[in-house]
Amino acid sequence: MKLKSNKSAAKRFRKTGSGKIVGRKSGRGHLLQQKTRRQKKLANKPKVLQVGESRRVKRLLPNL
C-alpha cells in the first residue's frame, strides 16, 4: 500500500540539509501594530522543531 503524506503538514514544514524539521514561528498573522519591531523580526525566522514535535511531523510526512 502506498504511503501518503499529510498535505496540510507538507505545506507548513520542510527538512534542512542536516535532517532537522523546520516550521514557521507563531505571531505573524494579525495584530502586528502593537507588537514591537523585534518581536516581528524574530517571528519571521524559521523555527527548528523540538524532538517530540519533529517526531509527530515525521509521522505525518513519511516521504520527507
Q: What is the mean pLDDT of each run of 10 residues along the chain (64 residues)?
A: 93 95 94 96 95 94 90
Q: Could you give the number of structural domains in the chain?
A: 1
Does residue 1 belong to any structural domain of this protein? Answer: no
- Please report the pLDDT score of residue 43 as a whole number: 95
User: What range defines the domain where residue 22 resides?
Assistant: 7-60
d(CA 46, CA 64): 17
CATH code of the domain containing 17: 4.10.410.60
- Please report the pLDDT score of residue 6 as a whole number: 95
Does residue 51 belong to any structural domain of this protein? Answer: yes
Does residue 2 belong to any structural domain of this protein? Answer: no
Does residue 30 belong to any structural domain of this protein? Answer: yes
Whole-prediction pTM value?
0.81
Question: Which of 63, 60, 62, 53 is closest to 21 using CA atoms?
Answer: 53
Does residue 50 belong to any structural domain of this protein? Answer: yes
- Please report the pLDDT score of residue 64 as a whole number: 84
Does residue 55 belong to any structural domain of this protein? Answer: yes
